[in-house]
Chains A and B, each alone.
Chain A
Amino acid sequence: MPVDPAATGAAAASPAGRAPAMQHRITLTINGTRRQMEVAPWTTLLDLLREEMELTGTKKGCDHGQCGACTVLLNGQRINSCLALAVTKDGAEVLTVEGLAAADGTLHPMQAAFVEHDAFQCGYCTPGQICSAVGLLKEGHARSAEEIRELMSGNLCRCGAYPNIVAAIEQAMQQAGVAAR
């Protein structure tokens, strides 16, 4: 059955008559593990991760693409997973905050930098910030604190940890050999 994601994403838009949801088989590689799964057409990647896979490291702050708490890396690119319907991502590789540290528990340099610089308080925006920052480094656009601030502005932090987030990213950038400033 063809799926039009635009027509099935919103709350009231499931089919009239409300027959049990048609499930779609997709394959995702999540944090390095390939998994086949059945998903309803309206399930977002975020809800799939949080509710079905119990990967609650990825956060829901708004469900509307306004806060960045749900940022994950999809095929290496940072995206808001609340805006992505899982069915449309068949075959993709998803990296969440749970998949960043090494198998032996060693933190990813970005995670370590966040701890060292106290780049969070409540921690709720943090997984999104970290995934976003990892994506930012990969993009290679940010060369200065100014640019980091601009390019990290899709990730809100109500605790206001911004100066420390910038400092942590600068450190991780330097470690990765990307010139900051």
Chain B
Amino acid sequence: MPNSETHFGAPRSRVDGRLKVTGAAKYAGEFTAPDLAHGYVVSSAIAKGRITAIDTAAAEAAPGVLRVFTHENRPTTAWLNSSYRDEVAPPGKPFRPLYDAEVVYSGQPVALVVAESFEAARDAAALVRVTYEHAPHETNLRNVLAEAYVPPKERPGIDPPPNPRGDAAAAYAAAPIKVENGYHVAPEHHNPMEPHATTVVWEAGGKLTIHDKIQGAQNTQSYVTSVFSLPKKDVRVIAPFVGGAFGSGLRPQYQLFLAVMASLELKRSVRVVLTRDQMFTFGYRPDTIQTLALGADREGRLQAVMHEAIAGTSPFEDFQEVVVNWSGLAYHCDNVDLKYKLAKIDTYTPLDMRAPGAPLGMFALESGMDELAHALKIDPLELRLRNYAEMDQNTGRQFSSKELRAAYRLGAERFGWARRSHEPRSMREGRELIGWGMATGVWEAGMQQASARATLTAGGKLEVAIATADIGTGTYTILTQIAADALGLRMEDVTARIGDSALPTSPIEGGSWTAASAGSAVQAACYAVRETLLNYARRMENSPLANAGLDHVVFTAGHIALRSDPSRSVSFADAMRAGGVDRIEQEETTAPDKGNMAKFSPYTHAAVFAEVRVDEELGAVRVTRVVDAIAAGRIINPKTARSQIIGGVVFGIGMALTEESMLDHRLGRFMNHNIAEYHLPVNADIREIDVLFVDEEESKANPIGVKGLGEIGIVGTAAAIANAVFHATGKRIRELPITLDKLLD
């Protein structure tokens, strides 16, 4: 039935590449309007308390200043908490900027200065004087562990830990080999290179066109319409390019609220761009403290898994992510007890960050497995094979597909794992200790309901449209490939339109589900176009395709041709003429198959192998080689797919070695709030990253057999590196990042 695929599976350069390398791609803070005013945010200096006075006189008197907004003069917005809840909000009361005098976290926006120029706004912002009444704050998760609680309300889409199975405590007590430890990964900030920004273009009559840094234009649209009580037709969100997000653009952030508020009040266009410092004043990867206990028999077969995590959340929302559940499905074990709790600290609500929860939980589990392998003197890869999970024991379902064994094998071969010597500190070159470590990665292969429109013109040009996003993932390109294949066109004849709230409904781009969701919807819409086209062709007088069904024809080079005799064909243009139309437009909606979802668990898997070199005297760690073997169903575009995995691995290297948002508990504030002190990996930190995709037949997770790649690359990476550091040095570091002080102890 499908056309022969020329583009699906082929390494294609990005269709938006030219726009990006010439500087023509426009990001949220780069749209403009003749009447554009600039907003600059004033951030709170304390973590908790009240504003007792806010003096804006000097700022208002500064040249070029149009208005200073504070909680005292902000316009009225929606009353109900629910009006502020966006598509992916966790349970709780969403933060309302400039709502009242309360300060609930450090860096909270307390004023917006709007001026004729960016410099004037920034200058005047420094003149706003805020007087506070401090209240005692607590930002140290370790001090509130005793108050940890099971979230009373689940966050939609986030599974709580499964019920315990077997008797983990008894099995653990009886197990001959045990490891039990605490693990911690430092809080991290997403730090996309593009700071968050919103440009609101105001039109007389109050219509708004909003350019927002968001992973789903419709999430911004529904937030704005509900918070500001505006009709949908008056709010259009256009975000064609997003300068990285990694989860930071899932929820509308406060600059959006402030820009819209100011625009509506001033009746003119307003742009608000956050500074890099202010990028540390909203969501982050939560502080999560974990304990893990593994019990095994002498052959290394897991007898008991107990994993508990306590994560920090804000005073106002119960952020939740999946941290411990992975420990119940990554390996076979009949006695499992998993717990996930929250504790409140006085920061902003954490926010999903690339593979939310998974690299944290898998750092603990995969470190624990490495410790077990060492204790048993079993090769770490062999230990994983002995505990291979044939089904998802958390749910009792079969995996929709799982070629992790192949990933282990091919990854190990590529890496040369067989040459590894078991003992730590057994490999060195000069004063550098060399270590090899590995880990498993796992992530959901989700699909969401989505709608897409396909429009074919008589001239043979196809446009596909859906309100999803491309945050660097390659969405434009893969949708173009899928659409071109469906109608046998060249990619140059296809345009993908995304990033616009006026397009057919799509979920936010997140959860690694965009390829599956948007891709399936686009394919379905194109297939509907094909059907219409064939119907027209069949009805032509003396049609060579009179009796042909979809199975009997191919769509190629602007023609519908008989499979059995390609010389018998009808051109798209002739078919449309016969149908009396000059374009065919179809919209289709696709959703996960309920029957399959009830029976199968769709997951993506990875086998990560890492080599580190550790300077014995200085403690400096370099990751010299990573092989990441991925089982992710069908790969639409090996070129962009590889980039996705490389990006995830680089994130994992950052998590393992450098990234750490440090809280100054005295001030209740992240203190390294800039990218000189928050260490993102730089070019010199990254060496060879070898990505392999193993063949995996996937037919249940979604119609196009893909699994998504945005997140799997990070999941096992930090653990593999920590395991390699142990192998190099004999030091087991259970607190990431592995900075040199931890190795010099």
Contacts and interface: CB of A to CB of B under 8 A. Distances in A.
Interface of A: 11-12, 14, 18-21, 40, 42-43, 47, 50-51, 54-64, 66-67, 69, 96-98, 100-101, 107, 111-112, 114-116, 118, 120-127, 130, 148-150, 152-166
Given A59-B243, A61-B194, A156-B193, A121 B472 contact: yes
A163 B195 contact: no
Given A122-B194, A150-B683, 18 more contacts: A12-B127, A57-B22, A61-B195, A66-B276, A98-B24, A107-B21, A111-B21, A118-B14, A118-B643, A121-B474, A124-B193, A124-B194, A125-B193, A127-B23, A156-B675, A160-B651, A161-B647, A165-B683
Contact of B471 (A12, A57, A122, A154): A122
B479 to A, nearest CB: 16
B680 A158 contact: yes
Nearest to A54: B32
Contacts of A157: 193, 683
Nearest to A121: B472
Given A115-B13, A122-B193, A63 B63 contact: no
Given A61-B193, A156-B193, A158-B680, A47 B643 contact: no
A51 B37 CA distance: 11
Interface string B677-719: 0001111101111000000000000000000000000000000
A85 B651 CA distance: 34
A165 B646 CA distance: 12
A122 B474 CA distance: 8
A123 B16 contact: yes
Interface string B98-133: 000000000000000000011100110111000000
B642 A120 contact: no
B192 A162 contact: no
State the 3 A-B residue pairs at the shortest beta-carbon distance, nearest first.
A57-B23, A160-B650, A124-B243
A149 B23 contact: no
A66 B16 contact: no
B683 A64 contact: no
A19 B122 contact: no
B170 interface: no
16 contacts: A11-B123, A18-B63, A40-B119, A50-B30, A51-B117, A57-B22, A59-B27, A60-B195, A67-B193, A115-B13, A118-B13, A127-B21, A155-B683, A161-B643, A162-B681, A166-B683
Interface of B: 13-14, 16-27, 29-30, 32, 61-63, 117-119, 122-123, 125-127, 190-195, 241-246, 273, 275-276, 471-474, 639-640, 642-644, 646-651, 674-676, 680-684, 686-689
Contacts of A69: 193
Give the dominant DSSP class at B's interface. Answer: loop
A59 B26 contact: no
Given A122-B193, A158-B192, A115 B18 contact: yes
Most buried by B among A20, A60, A149: A60
Nearest to A127: B23
Contacts of A55: 23
Contacts of B32: 54
Contacts of A115: 13-14, 17-18, 21
Contacts of B30: 50, 56
B408 to A, nearest CB: 23
Contacts of A19: 63
A138 B246 CA distance: 34
A96 B242 contact: no
Contacts of A124: 27, 192-194, 243-244
A95 B640 CA distance: 29
A116 B27 CA distance: 22
Nearest to A56: B30
A159 B244 contact: yes
Residue of B194, B474, B683 most packed against chain A (CB within 10 A): B683
Nearest to B275: A63
B642 A118 contact: yes
B683 A149 contact: yes
Q: Which of A20, A21, A43 has the most CB of B within 10 A?
A: A21
B125 to A, nearest CB: 7
Contacts of A149: 683-684, 686-687
Nearest to A110: B21
A21 B13 contact: no
A155 B33 CA distance: 30
A107 B681 contact: no
A81 to B, nearest CB: 13
A11 B122 contact: yes
Contacts of B472: 120-123, 159
Contacts of B17: 114-115, 118, 120
A19 B61 CA distance: 11
A156 B276 contact: no
B276 A163 contact: no
B244 A121 contact: yes
Contacts of B650: 160, 162
Most chain A CB atoms below 10 A, which of B27, B275, B647: B647
Contacts of A59: 27, 193-194, 243
Nearest to A147: B684
A88 B471 CA distance: 36
Contact of B126 (A12, A64, A66): A12
A78 to B, nearest CB: 14
Nearest to B62: A18
Nearest to A12: B126
B48 to A, nearest CB: 26
A158 to B, nearest CB: 5
B423 to A, nearest CB: 30
A104 B601 CA distance: 52
A116 B14 CA distance: 9
Q: Which of A61, A69, A114 has the most chain B CB within a 10 Å cutoff?
A: A61
Given A47-B119, A122-B194, A64 B21 contact: no
A43 B331 CA distance: 58
Nearest to B117: A51
Contacts of A114: 17, 21
Nearest to A169: B683
A125 to B, nearest CB: 5
A12 B680 contact: no
B21 A66 contact: no
